[in-house]
A and B are shown apart, each in its own frame.
Chain A
Amino acid sequence: MLILSIASVSFVFLIGIGLYWRAAPLFEEQTLLSLFSASEWAPSKGQFGFYPFIMGTLWVTLIAIVVALPLCLLTAIYLTEYAKPGVRSVILPLVNILAGIPPVIYGVWGIFFVVPIVREYIAPQFTDYSSGYTVFTGGVVLAVMIFPILVSIVSEVLRTIPKELKDASLSLGATKWETIKKVVLKRALSGIVAATVLAVSRAFGETIAVLMVCGNVPIAPTSVFDGGYPLPALIANNFGEMMSIPLYDSALMFAALLLFVIIFLFNLVSRIVLHRVESKYSAS
């Protein structure tokens, strides 16, 4: 079992090293900094700027979490604190079914449902013209996709909070809502952070649904109603094609490495944050 766990950990390193090795030819042509900051993407001319893709990934993920987190918190609070047990036992399994729907179906749903709404109703409020294939659309579709994981984990976390702690607050004359805001959410903070980390990690890597609704234009978005091109979509769209272009496969490998590093750094940072939160109010 020790060997198995070592093997699984070493996989992470092997993948990292493998990606680096395959991407290495690219570094001979350009410096790391220029790869990050250049925004020209013209493989046939040998120009590989990753800035638009990094921004695309970050925008879509950020929008997804900004949309999903408040809704998920309210849903989880309703389910654990207010809903009757009967309602809860119907809704939670239904939410979990959402998690089992294949991403491609979310993509189709995004194209037929979210894209037209964004194009016809939402975007015209803010900009002159939008195709509907925007980072905002991608964010909304992603938000729906991470909704179940967030709701079920946050509900689970809220359920572990002892009734006596809530009673303590209630018996001081606090209302239920005050208790939830000031005691329950505070106690659940580390769990909520952990759930968000999981959801964001999933959002970073989500490929197919985002690829279908984001527009896939290699230009860094300047507003939420611009198209974007997240890293996973770049890899999925182009891998196996146009391999005759020099350095193209190295560039895609570098995209994969970037995604890998972003997720790795994100996990690292959130672990540190989590540790801070936990040690501040360690459970009694």
Chain B
Amino acid sequence: MTQHPLIRVRDLNVHIGGHHILKHININIPDKSVTSIIGPSGCGKTTLLKTFNRLLDDTAEVRVTGSVLVDEEDIYASGAEVTHIRKKMGLLSQRPYPLPMSIYDNVAYGPRIHGIRKKTDLDDIVEKQLKDTGLWEEVKDRLHTSAAKLSIGQQQRLCLARGLAVEPEIILGDESTSALDPISTHKIEDLFVRLKEQYTIVLVTHILRQARRISDYIVFVYMGEIVEFGPTEELLLNPKEELTKQYVKGFIS
């Protein structure tokens, strides 16, 4: 591993309602790069992603053991403050979920929560993030209309802008393009590639071609365990494990 790892996972186990969902996960996710988590449906990809910002906390009957270190800080330590951890990560879910407010307020939501009140500061943040996500030209004349009126692709980019507005270090994407048309998907993928210069990006995807197009590293998860982790080309073209080989060739899905 040439790059400094930003997220280190040590012997992570997740049980939900008596099921052992994630088993003995150990992984270092490199800084300033795109890492894709691939694997068949129900293998625990999304659960793994959600352990990174403790979104599992609210799930019923969940038990997490082991540690996840972000910036050398164990986010599952007893003193860890959850809002501070979540602020470090922007989440982009499967379908866009704009907050029930205007476009402007969606982007300004995070900064406002974290204490930015001055209108000019908020204006700057909103403009910057909408420009970074390529939405500015499309929405600058209707910033104060409801975000629900945007197209679904625009909504997803708005959600990304909203996440970036709290200045995270990490972007988590949970099959973020699965509800989008090809053109919108392409725009989001381009954004990820561009954003990896500033952020560490972890994506869950079930589309191998997408993982290949945009990621630097791939993690292959099967039945709650990490089977293989490595640089994209190496893992896809020259997998070490038999299971990975079968998955990449499409024998198991």
A183-B84 contact given A168-B159, A282-B148, CB 8 Å threshold: no
A:27-86 near B, CB below 8 Å? 85
Report the separation of the CA atoms of residues A164 and B176 in the bound assembly, to the nearest whole angstrom. Answer: 13
Q: Which residues of A contact B93 (CB under 8 A)?
A: 164, 167-168
Binds B, one of A170-178, A205-213, A232-240, A249-257: A170-178
Q: Which residues of A contact B99 (CB under 8 A)?
A: 165, 168-169, 182-183, 186
CB closest chain-B residue, reference A174:
B113
A173-B110 contact given A183-B99, A282-B146, A284-B96, CB 8 Å threshold: yes
Structural contact, B89 and A284, CB atoms closer than 8 A: no
Q: B237 at the A/B interface (Cβ < 8 Å)?
A: no
Most buried by A among B91, B93, B99, B165: B99
Q: Which residues of A contact B89 (CB under 8 A)?
A: 171
Structural contact, B114 and A173, CB atoms closer than 8 A: yes
Q: B16 at the A/B interface (Cβ < 8 Å)?
A: no
Report the separation of the CA atoms of residues A170 and B162 in the bound assembly, to the nearest whole angstrom. Answer: 12
Structural contact, A162 and B148, CB atoms closer than 8 A: no
Interface string of B79-120 (1 = CB under 8 A from A): 000011011011101111111110000000110011000000
CB closest chain-A residue, reference B106:
A168
Interface string of A173-201 (1 = CB under 8 A from B): 11100100011001100000000000000
Q: A283 at the A/B interface (Cβ < 8 Å)?
A: yes
Q: A264 at the A/B interface (Cβ < 8 Å)?
A: no
Structural contact, B87 and A172, CB atoms closer than 8 A: yes
Structural contact, B101 and A167, CB atoms closer than 8 A: no
Q: Which residues of A contact B98 (CB under 8 A)?
A: 284
The B contact surface, by secondary structure, is: mixed
Structural contact, B55 and A172, CB atoms closer than 8 A: no
Question: Distance (Å) between the CB of A175 and the closest chain B CB?
Answer: 6
Structural contact, A284 and B97, CB atoms closer than 8 A: yes
Q: B60 at the A/B interface (Cβ < 8 Å)?
A: yes
A164-B109 contact given A171-B55, A172-B162, CB 8 Å threshold: no
CB closest chain-A residue, reference B162:
A172
Q: B202 at the A/B interface (Cβ < 8 Å)?
A: no
Structural contact, B100 and A186, CB atoms closer than 8 A: yes
Among A85, A171, A182, A281, contact of B53 (Cβ-Cβ < 8 Å): A171
Among B86, B90, B94, B146, contact of A170 (Cβ-Cβ < 8 Å): B86
Q: B166 at the A/B interface (Cβ < 8 Å)?
A: yes
Question: Distance (Å) between the CB of A79 and the closest chain B CB?
Answer: 15
Interface string of A245-284 (1 = CB under 8 A from B): 0000000000000000000000000000000000011111
Q: Which residues of A contact B110 (CB under 8 A)?
A: 172-174
Q: Which residues of A contact B100 (CB under 8 A)?
A: 183, 186-187, 281
Among B95, B148, B149, B163, contact of A171 (Cβ-Cβ < 8 Å): B163
B:139-160 near A, CB below 8 Å? 146, 148-149, 155, 159
Structural contact, A173 and B166, CB atoms closer than 8 A: yes
Q: Which residues of A contact B114 (CB under 8 A)?
A: 173
Q: Which residues of A contact B55 (CB under 8 A)?
A: 167, 170-171
Report the separation of the CA atoms of residues A247 and B87 in the bound assembly, to the nearest whole angstrom. Answer: 72
Q: Which residues of A contact B87 (CB under 8 A)?
A: 172-173
Q: Which residues of B contact A162 (CB under 8 A)?
A: 97
Report the separation of the CA atoms of residues A164 and B55 in the bound assembly, to the nearest whole angstrom. Answer: 10
Structural contact, B95 and A172, CB atoms closer than 8 A: no
Question: Distance (Å) between the CB of B151 and the closest chain A CB?
Answer: 11
Interface string of A150-172 (1 = CB under 8 A from B): 00000000000010110111111
Structural contact, B83 and A174, CB atoms closer than 8 A: yes
Question: Distance (Å) between the CB of A71 and the closest chain B CB?
Answer: 24
Q: Which residues of B contact A174 (CB under 8 A)?
A: 83, 109-110, 113
Most buried by A among B84, B100, B148, B163: B100
Interface string of B163-207 (1 = CB under 8 A from A): 101100000100000000000000000000000000000000000
Report the separation of the CA atoms of residues A175 and B93 in the bound assembly, to the nearest whole angstrom. Answer: 19
CB closest chain-B residue, reference A176:
B58
A281-B148 contact given A168-B97, A171-B55, A173-B84, CB 8 Å threshold: yes
Structural contact, B91 and A171, CB atoms closer than 8 A: yes
Question: Distance (Å) between the CB of B60 and the closest chain A CB?
Answer: 7
- Interface pairs A-B: 8 shortest CB-CB: A173-B87, A171-B91, A172-B110, A187-B100, A281-B100, A284-B148, A165-B97, A173-B83
Interface residues of B (CB under 8 A from A): 53, 55, 58, 60, 83-84, 86-87, 89-91, 93-101, 109-110, 113-114, 146, 148-149, 155, 159, 162-163, 165-166, 172
For this complex, 13 residue pairs linking A to B, each with C-beta atoms less than 8 Å apart, are A85-B60, A162-B97, A164-B93, A165-B97, A167-B93, A168-B91, A170-B86, A171-B55, A173-B86, A173-B110, A175-B83, A182-B109, A281-B148
* Extra pairs beyond A164-B95, A172-B110 (15, CB < 8 Å): A85-B60, A164-B97, A165-B99, A171-B86, A171-B89, A172-B109, A172-B162, A172-B163, A173-B83, A174-B83, A281-B100, A281-B101, A282-B149, A284-B98, A284-B155
